Amino acid sequence: MFYDKIRKVQLRFSCVATINNNNSKSYEKWVNTRLQSRKCYMGDFDPSYKLESWNPNIPSEYLKINPKKKDSEIGYKNFCLIELDVRKIDILELHHDGHVRFEYKNDKIQFIAP
């Protein structure tokens, strides 16, 4: 769900997610990931690990420089590619005199009267 406060538009997406980790699809994206970005996956803490205080979770030697490609490969274990198969999009425009709603589902756009 996304909301644009200035335009007063709400977007809701219903999707089926596929998580690609340690497979050919995720590796294809990994090999094309810049070294600057790869260092973000090289930290000591797993992505879901709860930290008690702020920690950049980047090896200290790479805070100001990028790793060499060979060294960056340790980050692949924390990398995944999430594919979203969009099944439905709901667009709601908020208006003081009545909202306007559109729905995209099954390759059809439908206007839903307020």
pLDDT in tens, 12-71: 999 999 999 999 999 999 999 999 999 999 999 987 889 999 999 999 999 999 999 999
Domain layout of the chain by residue ranges: 1-19+82-114, 22-79
Output the pLDDT for position 13. Answer: 94
Query: What string of H, E and C letters represents the secondary structure of the chain?
Result: CEEECCCCEEEEEEEEEEEECCCHHHHHHHHCCCHHHHHHHCCCCCCCCCCCCCCCCCCHHHCCCCCCHHHHHHHHHHCCEEEEEEEEEEEEECCCCCCEEEEEECCEEEEECC
Under the banding of pLDDT at 50, 70 and 90, the label for residue 94 is very high
**In sequence order, which residues have a C-beta less than 8 Å from that of residue 81 and are 6 or more positions away?**
19, 20, 21, 25, 26, 29
Q: Judge if pTM exceeds 0.75.
A: no
